[in-house]
Amino acid sequence: MSADAAPPMVEAIGLTKTFAIPAATLFGRARPVAAAVDVSFRIPRGRTFGLVGESGSGKSTVAKLLLKLEAPSAGRLLVEGQDIFAQTPAEELAYRRKVQAVFQDPYGALSPRMRADRIVTEPLRAHGMDRREAEARAPELLRLVGLPPDSARKYPHEFSGGQRQRLAIARALSVDPALLVLDEPVSALDVSVRAQVLTLLREMQQRLDLTYLFIGHDLAVVRYLSDTVGVMYFGRLVELGPARRVLRRPAHPYTRRLVALAAGDAPLGAVRLQGELPNPLAPPSGCLFRTRCPYADATCAARLPEMRLAEPDHLVACHHHEAVAAGAKAETGPMLQEA
Ligand SMILES: Nc1ncnc2c1ncn2[C@@H]1O[C@H](COP(=O)(O)OP(=O)(O)OP(=O)(O)O)[C@@H](O)[C@H]1O
């Protein structure tokens, strides 16, 4: 197969995940809540796909599906062309090596009573390698992520926050994965350390030809690492395209608000859009963002906008994307507020 014909590392096709909310909380009737709806994207090998959106928009649900921690309610998720929810046990075992994750809180993710050499080689042992052989790999893994050789005998509390995240990265890399799910990997770190860990992630990607799904709140961080960005709102992708273009010239009013907030130097965690996410049990008709959108009109109430091309490679789900991209309405109006 030629390089051009090779399938992308990841391809999500109409991925949907609904959770049943227990009957007791709903006057006796169990009802499904959609955490991710009709999500489609591709990640070419060696590239980074960044997912952004408010808390609860469905980003982690997409990550959990890719990690096979959840199964989809509908749609497909292909990795190198293979449906990861139609694998034989042997394929699944190989897949669980191929995909690894790094989460926000390295301290919570590292066993406090394990030494670093065991921590970073734990996945090798989980995949059947003998303990001695696995731990013999520790110095090389620690060196790979820029930790000094004497780190091997230390415990997690003896490391700084940035070093602990390096440990978590070394552990993820130990089994030679092709794909990393990075769920807010630098959000808990001091600003001064963030850049170093991001640089490390970038170096590792280039050196090891890794593909990343990167979830982040900080748009500057997402832009730094991502080739393509997807913006999620209420379980749906509302904008998708090259990271620089989407974050410089957004075509969806929701992305515009996120970008305007970030430009105001306000950390996204501390500031939010005015108005709440819609009630999942009673979503608005038509466009889900219309209840918070300055561009909303009768069309938006009548019809859910489909994803369509705003420019080549740049998709947006908004009836008024041309007016939005042209900046027809002020971005720093009363919709912005301190949380
Ligand atoms: N196991 C579950 N059972 C019921 N509802 C769930 C479950 N997991 C997620 N949800 C709901 O699905 C929606 C999306 O959640 P998700 O965690 O994917 O959002 P997120 O964008 O990753 O948020 P955050 O940035 O806070 O991690 C939320 O409304 C959440 O309450």
251-271 confidence digits (pLDDT tens): 999 999 999 888 765 554 444
Within 8 A by CB and 6+ apart from 243, the residues are 50, 222, 223, 226, 227, 228, 229
Q: Would you say the CB of residue 53 lies under 6 angstroms from ligand 1?
A: yes
The range of the structural domain enclosing residue 120 comes to: 3-248
* 336-338 and 271-273 beta bridge pairing: antiparallel
Identify each DSSP E strand in the chain by its residue range.
10-21, 31-43, 48-52, 74-79, 82-83, 99-102, 179-183, 211-215, 228-233, 236-242, 271-273, 308-311, 314-316, 336-338
In a shared domain, residues 211 and 282: no
Please give the distance, rounded to the nearest whole angstrom, from the Cα atom of residue 292 to the centre of ligand 1.
Answer: 20
In a shared domain, residues 199 and 222: yes
Atom of ligand 1 nearest to the CA of 60: 22
Atom of ligand 1 nearest to the CA of 57: 21
Q: Is the pLDDT of residue 276 over 90?
A: no
Choosing from 19, 37, 39 the residue with most ligand 1 atoms within 8 A of its CB, the one to mutate for a pocket test is 19
Note whether 275 and 292 are within 8 A (CB): yes
Query: ipTM value of the model?
Result: 0.95
- What's the CATH number where 117 sits? 3.40.50.300
Please give the distance, rounded to the nearest whole angstrom, from the Cα atom of residue 138 to the centre of ligand 1.
Answer: 35
Q: Would you say the CB of residue 35 lies under 6 angstroms from ligand 1?
A: yes
Q: Would you say the CB of residue 211 lies under 6 angstroms from ligand 1?
A: no
In a shared domain, residues 279 and 144: no
Q: What is the pLDDT of residues 10-25, one digit of tens each?
A: 999 999 999 987 766 5
Q: Would you say the CB of residue 57 lies under 6 angstroms from ligand 1?
A: yes
Please give the distance, rounded to the nearest whole angstrom, from the Cα atom of residue 35 to the centre of ligand 1.
Answer: 6
In a shared domain, residues 200 and 298: no
Please count the structural domains in the chain: 2
In a shared domain, residues 158 and 72: yes
Q: Which range in 54-58, 142-146, 283-287 is most confidently predicted, on average pLDDT?
A: 142-146
Predicted TM-score of the model (pTM): 0.91
Q: Is the pLDDT of residue 339 over 60?
A: no
Residue carrying the six token digits 């996410």? 277
Q: What is the pLDDT of residues 195-241, one digit of tens each?
A: 999 999 999 999 999 999 999 988 999 999 999 999 999 999 999 99
User: What value does the mean pLDDT take over residues 121-141?
Assistant: 93
pLDDT of residue 336: 38
**Gap between the Cα atoms of 219 and 223, Å rounded:** 6
User: How does DSSP assign 298-309, residue by residue?
Assistant: HHHHH-PPPPEE
**Gap between the Cα atoms of 224 and 205, Å rounded:** 13
Choosing from 21, 55, 238 the residue with most ligand 1 atoms within 8 A of its CB, the one to mutate for a pocket test is 55
In a shared domain, residues 235 and 281: no
